[in-house]
Amino acid sequence: MSSPRKTKTRRAPKVRKAVSSRRTPPRAKTTSRRTPPRAVAAIKPTAPSLDALPLVLFNYRYGGPNDHGFTYASGQSLELLGMKPEEMTRESSVLRLHPDDVGAFDDFVLRTMAAGETVDVHLRILHKDSTPRWVHFNAWPQKKIKKEWHYTGLMLDIDARKKVEAEQTAILERMEEAQDIAKLGWYDFNVKSRVLDLTNDFADSLGLPIAPGGRVTGEDADRYVQAFLNALHPEDRERYMSIIADESWRRIEFDYRVLTRTNEVRHLCSRIQRTADKSGKRVRDFAVILDITERKRLEEDLRAQAGTDPLTNVPNRRSFEAAARREVERARRYAKPFAVIALDIDFFKRVNDSHGHDIGDIVLKEMTKVCLAQLRLTDVLARLGGEEFAALLPETDIDAATKLAERLRVAVAAKPIGTTKGPLSITVSLGVAQFAPNESGVDSALKRADEALYEAKHSGRNKVIVAKLPSLVKSAGSKRS
């Protein structure tokens, strides 16, 4: 529901590009050393069906800004990238990136590999005919040998999806322009003479009687006005009335909802030009009313997509952080406790390596369902990335959060996951932390929960560890294994 404003309707936000457009200096030519074939065996496809998928499996070695490159690429590289596997692994060979994405690769991908962290980015690759093609470049660290990080990864063809997203953006822009022209209806109300002129299609859509000639006067006009007010959504009626009763404005635009005669919720936008007498008293309102229901639905769908993990259908990191910020404000205002749980699937890499990423996806989805069944409706379970999850528990102290974490652990361990290759048993490790009033935000509590999760991992996995309060926490330098 939008607040009253006196400016033109803002256009729907454009879909953000997935890569940085910051200009960077020309990329230095990379060199590469070949690694022994032992790293190749970890990702070579074992199922014939993988050959038909629009993806390239690869190994990548990073020894420094000028010492990195592919050590293995699967056969699909020719179709997807326009390069043969042997071309990709030559010392002088590099990806042919779109000029706008060179900076993203140099600044983000290589910097992330230097830190030994997972790479997840969308890039445009120039095919052999120089046409750009979007790929999802995903690589995760396997091991560090001396000063070299060795990665396993995949490049997935997402060009069709990107084109659909671009088309959706264009459609949203055209819809907004069309709504500026195609008017649902209008009315012209003379307050002094009690004469109301209006379009009958607008009246009919709200279940109002048809006005002969599009005009009603006197008591009939009063009844029409009251009927319109009765059609306002109950949650928007008071705001609408306060706007109309304000004598200070002369032109205004605002959104609100109405209920049609079939009880359908419609989103409307009124643009009203007001005429007043010399004393400033309202004399006449002329309004153009636009039906923006579809635009609102598309905006809500886009917001939902932006905040939802596409695989598990739970909130993603961005949505989790937004919910956590709101919970921090509630906790401070009403002195209510809340807690967070960090959750990680044990040995998930083994699942992918032994059974394939399709089985890994099934494990992620089914594990999510098991956890959701144990959580309350007010709790928020989010996938932060890979096999890492977090739960936000409003109005929950550390004891209740610990008991809930233990229920999650037991539930996951007790339910083997059905896959196409048979049932698969998994376990999870969990860290629990309660938000402390002296913490600046939820990040501190989540970090403590994550450190407790590391401790659970290092002490045998399939455990719940409770984090200490901030004043008692010591810096932990250990990393998750």
**Residue range 122-169, pLDDT digits in tens:** 989 888 778 898 999 999 999 999 889 999 999 999 888 888 888 888
Q: Which residue out of 327, 387, 439, 451 is catalytically annotated?
A: 387
Under 8 Å between Cβ of 110 and 65: yes
Per-residue tokens: 438: 């002296």
The label of the residue with tokens 């083994």 reads 350
User: 394 lies in a domain?
Assistant: yes
Q: Are residues 329 and 373 in the same domain?
A: yes
Mean pLDDT of the chain: 82
pLDDT the model gives residue 120:
92
pLDDT in tens, 406-462: 999 999 999 999 988 889 999 999 999 999 888 888 899 999 999 999 999 999 999
DSSP-derived 3-state class of residue 402:
helix
Per-residue tokens: 296: 């609102």
User: 15 lies in a domain?
Assistant: no
> How many domains would you assign to the chain?
3
Provide CB contacts within 8 A for 76, sequence distance 6+: 51, 53, 54, 55, 56, 57
Q: Which of the listed residues 296, 322, 355 is the one where a domain comes to its end?
A: 296
Q: Which range of residues forms the domain containing residue 120?
A: 37-159
Closest CA to 190 of 261, 56, 286, 112: 286
Chain centre distance of CA 423? 31
CA atoms of 56 and 47, how far apart (whole Å):
14
Q: Is the pTM of this model over 0.75?
A: no
Tell me, yes or no, if 395 is annotated catalytic: no
- Statement: residue 37 has pLDDT above 60: no
Under 8 Å between Cβ of 210 and 200: yes
Residue 46 phi, psi (nearest 5): -100, -15
Which amino acid, 346? Answer: D
Q: Are residues 133 and 210 in the same domain?
A: no
Residues in the chain: 481
Q: What is the CATH number of the domain that holds 48?
A: 3.30.450.20
101-105, 205-209, 327-331, 377-381 — which is least confidently predicted? 205-209
Q: Are residues 450 and 332 in the same domain?
A: yes
CA atoms of 306 and 422, how far apart (whole Å):
34
DSSP-derived 3-state class of residue 147:
coil
Under 8 Å between Cβ of 315 and 323: yes
pLDDT the model gives residue 439:
83
Type and span of the H or E element at 350? helix 348-355
Specify the DSSP class assigned to residue 186.
E
Q: Are residues 225 and 338 in the same domain?
A: no
